Amino acid sequence: MKTNLEEAIKKISEKYSHILTQEKLLEMASLSIQSKSNSYSPYSKFRVGCCLLTSDGKLFTGTNVENVTFGLSVCAERCAVFNAVSQGAKKIIVAVVCTDMEYVITPCGACRQVLVEFGLEDCFCLSLNDINHMTAEELLPSSCRIDHLKKE
């Protein structure tokens, strides 16, 4: 779902005013692009970078890592989540994902589920020419959440 970028950035900055300024959002975009440069994607040549913001204001990055057996490849978003969680992050609230494409690419289904598991609320997807903002509910409506496993 494409939204007006200025409106989305303003809304996000207000929502997370204690930890996410417009400058920090730009820093996240920069780190996402920087992380993309580390992509290991010799098979697809499809580079992806991701930067995550946690609820305590920390930033974590990831990139896609492919494997000759394809099934073992990991997307940038999950790489960033695993990086964050392995360093103690508990709640991830914002993701910025970038590619080299001229049109916006959004996270795959597996990454959407993993991002939602750790509390993702907002996602920005950058292309070379455009940017999209989506809420977690827009990314993965009616997602499977930990609450669903609790017995009443």
Which residue number has the CB closest to Zn ion? 75
Q: Considering only 35-43, 87-95, 105-113, 129-137, which stretch makes contact with Zn ion by CB under 5 A?
A: 105-113
Question: Can residue 75 be called a binding residue for Zn ion (CB under 5 A)?
Answer: yes
Residue 49 burial (C-beta neighbours within 10 Å; 0-12, 13-18, 19+):
buried
Q: How far is the CB of 137 from Zn ion (least distance, A)?
A: 18
- Give the residue, chosen from 92, 111, 116, 126, that forms a contact with Zn ion under the rule CB under 5 A: 111
**Is residue 108 at the binding interface for Zn ion, with CB under 5 A as the rule?**
yes
The residues, ordered by sequence, that sit 6+ positions from 121 with a Cβ below 8 Å of its Cβ are: 15, 93, 94, 135, 136
Nearer residue to Zn ion within complex by CB, 28 or 111: 111
Would residue 45 be called left, alpha or beta, if left means φ above 0 and alpha means ψ between -120 and 50 degrees? left
Region from 6-14, 53-61, 65-73, 108-116 binding Zn ion, contact rule CB under 5 A: 108-116
Would residue 77 show up in a list of annotated catalytic residues for this protein? Answer: yes
Name the nearest CA neighbour of 49 among 101, 98, 120, 105. 98
Which of the residues are catalytic? 77
